[in-house]
Structure 1
Amino acid sequence: MIQLIWAIVNIATVLGLVIFCTKTASEIRNKISLSATLLFSFFALSFIARPSKEEKDKKFEFENRETKTQSLNHNNYFSNIVLEEDLLSKIELYANSDGENASSAMIRRTGFICGTRWSTVYIIINKTEKKNTFQYEVGGTRKWILLGIEVYSEFKDFKGSGEFKSL
């Protein structure tokens, strides 16, 4: 619910800024000239934040010496675990296994995510005694952003267990 309110605040702030700049540009045009209006508009629009060029979904590859020395194992297992779900968005853990150990994992965030950004810090996957089960620990940072400026940053930690299913 807080993310919905934050998204509305972000949208309202951007719309307010656009309306303010439009009115200001109109007054500049009436009082000075068209070229001054174009110059003001260029500088005003340059402050609009662009999406970062960060890797959207960072994939974590796990290095297993045992599996590298073994012959090719054609068993592939997959797991999808919902870490956090609210009214607007969902954070999910996707993990792959070769039958023995986890080979890779990725965190994906879907839904309406206006005004916040997720950054995965670490993913730890340990196999358990039961076949095709594992324990996971995931850590990351959610950044609350207003007009492209980070206002607040919170660390989130998820722990639990899951099960690999064959593809």
Structure 2
Amino acid sequence: MIHLLWSIINLIIVFYFLYLIVGIIRKGKRIFNPKFKVVSIFVMVIGIVQVISAANSEEKTNRITISNNYNKKNFSEVEKVTLENNLTFDINMHVKYSIEQTELIPIESNSFLTGFVSGYEWEFTSIETNSYKQSKKAEFTANGVLKWNLFGNTIYNESKTFSGIIK
């Protein structure tokens, strides 16, 4: 529930910023209500800075290479694991395996958020998993940081560790 509330707060701030932009274009500085003038100017400045800095930011892939010691000619298989299931979003992870006779060797992994992710950013930092036989299961431990953003600025970093079994 807290995740939904945080996302709604982010949306309200974005819509307020858009309202201010349109208001300045149509009415000029009369859009600023004297009661909320300081807050409005603060939201305007932060919003403009975020729009300018968004053009320079680079997208992180959240991809981790686990092993380079495998036969690249073999077939591969991808397993999907849901690390966390929230009301508004899920944290998912894919692990790619190379199929070598009866053993599956982990090659790489990536993790991502799906759902209503307004105000959140996921940074996948590490994974530990082992090779396993097709008839068995593999254990994993994955780490990452869930960043709580307010209007594009990180307010809180929440470290998360997940462990489980890949079927």
TM-score, normalised relative to structure 1: 0.73
Assess if the C-alpha contact under 8 Å between 1:6 and 1:115 holds in 2: yes
* Residues 31-46 of structure 1 mapped to structure 2, 5 A cutoff: 44=45, 46=48
- Can you list the C-alpha shifts for 1:124-159, whole angstroms capped at 9, x where unaligned? 111357745211111000111111221111000000
Question: How many residues in Structure 1 have an aligned counterpart in Structure 2?
Answer: 147
Q: 1:127 to 1:16 in 2, by over 3 A?
A: same
- Can you list the C-alpha shifts for 1:85-124, whole angstroms capped at 9, x where unaligned? 1222111111111133111111121111001111011111
Structure 1: runs of 5+ lacking an equivalent: 31-39
SS of residue paired to 1:17 = helix
Assess if the C-alpha contact under 8 Å between 2:91 and 2:113 holds in 1: yes
Q: 1:24 to 1:82 in 2, by over 3 A?
A: same
Q: Single out whichever of 74-83 and 141-150 deviates more from structure 2.
A: 74-83
Paired residue for 2:165, among 143, 161, 166? Answer: 161
Once residues 112 and 19 of structure 2 are traced to their aligned partners in structure 1, the CA distance between those partners, rounded to angstroms, is: 35
Structure 2: runs of 5+ lacking an equivalent: 32-40
Residue identity matched to 1:46: I
Once residues 30 and 84 of structure 2 are traced to their aligned partners in structure 1, the CA distance between those partners, rounded to angstroms, is: 50
Assess if the C-alpha contact under 8 Å between 1:95 and 1:105 holds in 2: yes
* Residues 9-48 of structure 1 mapped to structure 2, 5 A cutoff: 9-20=9-20, 22-23=22-23, 26-28=27-29, 44=45, 46-48=48-50
Once residues 77 and 111 of structure 1 are traced to their aligned partners in structure 2, the CA distance between those partners, rounded to angstroms, is: 25
- Can you list the C-alpha shifts for 1:52-92, whole angstroms capped at 9, x where unaligned? 4222x322222243x35xxx653423211111112221111
Paired residue for 1:114, among 97, 118, 127? Answer: 118
Q: Provide the identity percentage.
A: 22
Q: Which residue of 2 aligns with 1:58?
A: 62
Assess if the C-alpha contact under 8 Å between 1:128 and 1:135 holds in 2: no
SS of residue paired to 1:47 = helix
Q: 1:20 to 1:29 in 2, by over 3 A?
A: closer
RMSD of Structure 2 on Structure 1 (CA): 2.9
Once residues 13 and 64 of structure 1 are traced to their aligned partners in structure 2, the CA distance between those partners, rounded to angstroms, is: 45
